[in-house]
Amino acid sequence: MTEQEREERLLAKIRTGGRVESPEEMTTAYRQNLIHLMTMQADSELAGAYGYVPWITKAPTVEEKHVVAQIVRDEVRHAVVMYGLLADLGVDVEGHVKAHDQTFTLRVASDADLGTARITSDKRVNIFYYPIETWADFVFFNFCMDRGAGHQLEDVRACSYGPWARAIEGIFKEEKFHIRHGEYWVKRLAGDPATRAPAQEALNRWFVRTMNIFGRPASPKNALYRKLGLKLRDNDEVRQAFRHEVQGLAASVGLTLPPWKPAGSELPDEAHIPG
């Protein structure tokens, strides 16, 4: 079978709602784009876990130390699952992680503004370059970034690669727990006059950073992902769904969203998939 015949058969299957289950069914382009997206998620899961680790000891109560430890465990498990899927496609996972293991812990200064830049060779979402320096940061990271990831994972749950779609179901449930944890603490911090101002400041930081992860509207790469069934929606459609939800939740506790303006050509051409 020629590559063109394989592509025609693959796209016909995707158009009728079928799922790809084995490498033998894939075209070169499908495999390359699938590996790229799954590597972005795997690297983000691992880098995110590393960023949470210090808060096991710094969380405000014993109960919260346990919660943070559980979140770290979840994120590492998500990374294991994603790297396992990549290994099934022939990726040298051990070599990849070994090559980047030191960079996964790299963090910039807390007042840095990276926009959409990526500064290391791993494929993590660039929001994971920022440090989590306060409990409010941890809370609003859960509230914003985990929610943003949840909106992106909604597309993966219906994607054309069966093993990834099935794996996401377990990951998605655990991300919901992280999001609920963030919501609980947002209400507490916003409702206490002593922590209300730091809560608003943290929302300002993490909302803008999260809005930058979704990619450029009408991106050619996103169009290709949708053609291949690896995504369902345009980048900006996912971004606006996230914004609408966060705006309502923030307003319910008396917080306001900061202004965010798209960076135009500076936005990345693709939406990122953490988890």
**Six-digit token pair at 83?**
């790297």
Of all residues in the chain, what percent carry a pLDDT higher than 90?
86
Report helix, strand or coil for 237: helix
Give every CB contact of residue 239 below 8 A, 6+ residues apart in sequence: 211, 214
Q: Is residue 113 part of a domain?
A: no
Give the phi and the psi of residue 47 in degrees, each rounded to 5: -65, -40
| Interior/surface letters 80-102, b for 16+ CB within 10 angstroms, e for the rest | ebbbebbeebebebeebbeebee
In this prediction, residue 117 carries a pLDDT of 87
What tens digit of pLDDT does each residue of 180-218 get? 999 999 999 999 999 999 999 999 999 999 999 998 888
pLDDT at 264 over 70: no
Q: Is residue 218 part of a domain?
A: yes
The model's pTM is 0.92
Q: Give the CA dihedral 76, 79, 80, 85, nearest 10 degrees.
A: 170
Q: Is residue 208 part of a domain?
A: yes
CA distance 71 to 250: 23
Q: Is residue 63 part of a domain?
A: yes
Q: Is residue 119 part of a domain?
A: no
Contact (CB, 8 A) for 209 and 258? no
Question: What own/partner pairs with CB < 8 Å and gap ≥ 24 does 86-93 have?
Answer: 86/35, 86/38, 86/39, 86/42, 88/163, 89/23, 89/31, 89/34, 89/35, 90/23, 91/35, 91/39
What tens digit of pLDDT does each residue of 101-110 get? 889 999 999 9
pLDDT at 19 over 80: yes
In this prediction, residue 275 carries a pLDDT of 44
CA distance 114 to 188: 30
Q: Is residue 13 part of a domain?
A: no
Q: Is residue 2 part of a domain?
A: no
Residue 196 structural domain = 25-108+125-266
What tens digit of pLDDT does each residue of 20-72 get? 999 999 999 999 999 999 999 999 999 999 999 999 999 999 999 999 999 99
Look at the chain and report how many structural domains it folds into. Answer: 1
pLDDT at 270 over 90: no
Q: Is residue 244 part of a domain?
A: yes
CATH number at residue 39: 1.20.1260.10
**Six-digit token pair at 193?**
């006059």
